[in-house]
Amino acid sequence: MNDMRQMTEKGRAIEDRSFAIIDEEAGAHEFPPAEWQIVRRVIHATADFEFKSLMRVHPRAAAAGIRALRSGCPVIVDVKMITAGLSEERLAAYGCTVRSFISDADVIADAKKGGTTRAVEAMRKARREGVLDGAIVAVGNAPTALLETVRLVKEEGAKPALIIGVPVGFVSAAESKEAVLGLEIPSIVAAGRKGGSPVAVAVIHALLLLSAQNPEKGGAVIA
């Protein structure tokens, strides 16, 4: 595996030890290898072993995410906190860019005029800009962004490559995730109220690391 982690030798040793502790304390599970790499990185980012039972990983999600990243897909995020946590160097290695529209002036104006939310209008702008199809959509904060993504898929035929639905919260968070699970599009979801931008970042970084495995063979081991 190519080591894409931007760490010193000491830092890598600490991270490796952390994952060894997670593997030991998590115990038996039924996640295939690639899916476990995603789940364990979420646990690592949160120190919360409950995510072992909360994560829902579509059988085609890892492969879809790897394929999209290697094709240089855009990564559409609901909030800039996710952008801040992502490794620009890792994404740039594949030609991927991160797009966030939530602070755009026209998005804010449309949300005020239409009585919606900035998160909803941001996803609509992503659709208008033509960057939603084939993209990885990562929602870590705003359930309304996730619900709008579902609507765009169902009603307008949007076709993101992968939806990462991990918004945290009490209003519509759990419901928005259940709505994503009802789609045919591959998804990675944290069921219930828990989630957040750090979880979204952890999932994307796990996919980036998976994408670096066996590149000469065209893919990571995803079975």
We report the CATH number of the domain holding residue 61 as 3.40.50.10230
* Distance separating alpha carbons of residues 31 and 223, to the nearest angstrom: 10
> Given this model, what pLDDT does residue 9 score?
82
Rg (CA), the chain: 17
Active site residues: 44
Question: Is residue 187 in a domain?
Answer: yes
pLDDT for res 4: 53
* Regions of the chain where pLDDT drops below 70: 1-7, 214-223
Q: Is residue 139 a part of any domain in this protein? A: yes
Asked whether residue 2 is domain-assigned, the answer is: no
Q: Which domain holds residue 206?
A: 9-217
The total of structural domains in the chain comes to: 1
**Residue-level pLDDT at 6:** 57
Residue 221 has phi, psi (to 5 degrees) of: -75, 115
pTM: 0.91
